[in-house]
Amino acid sequence: KNVDDFYNSIFRTLVTFMMENPKYISESAHLLFVAKNLERMGDHATNIAEMVYYVVTGERMEERERGEQPEDGAAEQEQG
């Protein structure tokens, strides 16, 4: 969720910047691609963490809405 929020913030900022400064559209577009790839890396890290949780516990994590934070019990179990 934090990575998604950060990406959305960068996206809004860069789009606003591009509208106000059209001569920097090319550079801003590259930054948008970088931000999107960082967001995808966060998604992949989440998937890896869920796979590790399954390997360690033998149980699948509960399905969550996209961007929803895990409950306290799940977070404590993951840390411990």
Q: Give the pLDDT confidence score for residue 54 in this predicted structure.
A: 95
CATH number at residue 55: 1.20.58.220
Q: Give the pLDDT confidence score for residue 11 in this predicted structure.
A: 94
- Cα-only R_g, the chain: 17
Q: What token pair was written down for 45?
A: 């890290």
Angle at 69 between CA 63 and CA 74, to 5 degrees: 70
Q: Domain limits at 48?
A: 2-79
- 80, pLDDT greater than 70: no
The C-alpha atoms of residue 68 and residue 22 are separated, in whole angstroms, by 36
pLDDT digits (tens, 9 = 90+) for 34-72: 999 999 999 999 999 999 999 999 999 887 666 555 554
Q: What token pair was written down for 20?
A: 């106000």
Q: What is the mean pLDDT of the chain?
A: 84
